[in-house]
């Protein structure tokens, strides 16, 4: 591309941040279709980075997503659908996904009476940005990431009793989490949840963020207005059919769960007939199980 036209484009983009964000709604997932679309976005983006192995479902979901206490948040573009996502998993008898690598560190927080929630599966549609764009240097990417964090943070403060946010991620994202003042929790480890890639863990005490609300520029965004639980009232609650289609037919997550894990998931849905949900799938039903 000639230099002048390149500069014109960049100049135009430079001025379009409000226009860029205007058609994007940051909110909780309301339908199973949105959950699948966000799981597909995570799959696509993580596959590009070799954070997971290819799978026929083309979705990245875990047993924790079958829990009614797990919430997924999306950046929903009016024309292009879901362009960003993050999930919040609350601690439960199933533990947290990062217990696999950081159980000792998390148990120490639990012993101190902290109520944990894990921020997980953050993904942005890389088609929105050029290659190798570093989040902290790029206003659009930075604001999209922080707006996703904000909606998750509002939910955490208004709807849950969690007071300690934990996360584990590839060390190359460390500077972003450090910018948000997450403190180191565990050293460098390899993690099967990230396809054997290295990971580090960090944590954030919510009361501490409150105390720094005015001094940190990102916290000023998070603490702009007292969050209300109202925007989260229509949070997705999976029906028995959706649980079966997603976690038995598409992804064999519930059939692979241990008896104790399954018993806990069942206890979260006391009125659901789990015998029917767990029936082995008919092969033809798998390919037709659309949402």
Partner 1 sequence: MNSEHHDLLSKREAAVLKHLQPPPLEIDQRRAERLPIKLPIYYIIQGSHDSVSAQTTTLNMSGGGVEFLIPRMVSPMTVCRLTVTLPKQPIPLVFLGHVSWCRQGRGKHKHQYEVGVVFSTPDSCDEPTFACYCHFIAAQLLTKYLT
Tokens representing residue 181 in the block: 């003042």
Taking alpha carbons only, the member of 76, 93, 88 closest to residue 120 is 88
Site for partner 1 in 51-80 (CB under 8 A): 79-80
Tokens 């050293």 found at: 187
- The half-sphere exposure of 117 on its side-chain side, counting CA atoms within 13 A, is 24
CB 177 within 8 A of CB 202: yes
Determine if 220 is a binding residue for partner 1 (CB under 8 A).
Answer: yes
Tokens representing residue 75 in the block: 């950046």
Q: How far apart are the C-alpha atoms of 42 and 61, rounded to whole Å?
A: 9
Stretch that binds partner 1, among 44-52, 124-132, 186-194, 241-249 (CB under 8 A): 124-132
What's the closest the beta carbon of residue 49 comes to partner 1, in angstroms? Answer: 18
Site for partner 1 in 161-180 (CB under 8 A): 175, 178-179
Supply the DSSP string of 47-80, one letter for each residue.
HHTTSS---TT-----GGGGSTT-EEEEEEETTT
Q: How far apart are the C-alpha atoms of 176 and 241, rounded to whole Å?
A: 39
Stretch that binds partner 1, among 107-115, 212-220, 239-247, 252-260 (CB under 8 A): 212-220
Determine if 282 is a binding residue for partner 1 (CB under 8 A).
Answer: no
Site for partner 1 in 128-147 (CB under 8 A): 128-130, 132-134, 136-140, 142-143, 146
Among 206, 221, 278, 286, binds partner 1 (CB under 8 A): 221
Among 47, 52, 206, 218, binds partner 1 (CB under 8 A): 218
Residues 80-99 as x/- pattern, contact with partner 1 by CB under 8 A = x-------------------
Among 112, 217, 282, 284, binds partner 1 (CB under 8 A): 217
CB 200 within 8 A of CB 97: no
CB 27 within 8 A of CB 76: yes
Among 2, 10, 54, 230, binds partner 1 (CB under 8 A): 10
Site for partner 1 in 16-35 (CB under 8 A): 17, 20
- Among residues 142 and 206, whose Cβ is nearest to partner 1? 142
Q: Binding-site residue total for partner 1 (CB under 8 A)?
A: 32
CB 96 within 8 A of CB 67: no
Sheet-wide strand order for 183-191:
24-28, 71-77, 81-90, 116-124, 164-169, 197-205, 183-191
Q: How far apart are the C-alpha atoms of 47 and 142, rounded to whole Å?
A: 22
CB 254 within 8 A of CB 276: no
- Among residues 152 and 176, whose Cβ is nearest to partner 1? 176
- Among residues 179 and 264, whose Cβ is nearest to partner 1? 179
- Among residues 134 and 241, whose Cβ is nearest to partner 1? 134
Interaction site with partner 1 (CB under 8 A): 6, 9-10, 13-14, 17, 20, 79-80, 125, 127-130, 132-134, 136-140, 142-143, 146, 175, 178-179, 217-218, 220-221
């Amino acid at each position: 591309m000639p230099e002048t036209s390149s500069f014109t484009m960049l100049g135009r983009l430079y001025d379009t941040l409000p226009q860029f964000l205007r058609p994007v709604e940051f909110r909780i997932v309301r339908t199973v279709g949105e959950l699948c679309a966000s799981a597909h976005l995570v799959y696509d983006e993580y596959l590009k980075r070799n954070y997971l192995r290819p799978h026929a479902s083309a979705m990245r979901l875990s047993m924790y997503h079958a829990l009614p206490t797990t919430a997924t948040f999306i950046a929903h573009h009016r024309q292009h659908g879901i362009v960003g996502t993050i999930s919040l998993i609350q601690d439960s008898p199933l533990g947290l996904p990062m217990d696999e690598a950081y159980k000792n560190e998390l148990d120490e927080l639990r012993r101190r009476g902290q109520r944990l929630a894990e921020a997980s599966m953050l993904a942005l549609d890389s088609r929105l940005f050029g290659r190798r764009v570093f989040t902290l240097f790029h206003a659009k990417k930075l604001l999209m990431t922080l707006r996703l964090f904000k909606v998750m943070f509002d939910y955490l403060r208004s709807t849950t009793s969690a007071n300690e946010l934990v996360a584990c991620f590839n060390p190359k994202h460390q500077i972003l989490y450090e910018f948000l003042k997450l403190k180191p929790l565990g050293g460098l480890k390899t993690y099967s949840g990230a396809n054997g890639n290295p990971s580090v863990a960090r944590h954030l005490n919510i009361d501490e963020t409150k105390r720094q609300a005015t001094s940190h520029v990102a916290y000023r965004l998070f603490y702009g207005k007292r969050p209300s639980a109202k925007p989260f009232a229509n949070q997705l609650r999976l029906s028995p059919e959706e649980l079966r289609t997603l976690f038995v037919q598409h992804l064999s997550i519930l059939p692979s769960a241990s008896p104790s894990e399954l018993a806990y998931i069942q206890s979260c849905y006391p009125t659901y007939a789990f015998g029917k949900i767990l029936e082995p799938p008919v092969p033809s039903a798998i390919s037709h199980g659309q949402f």
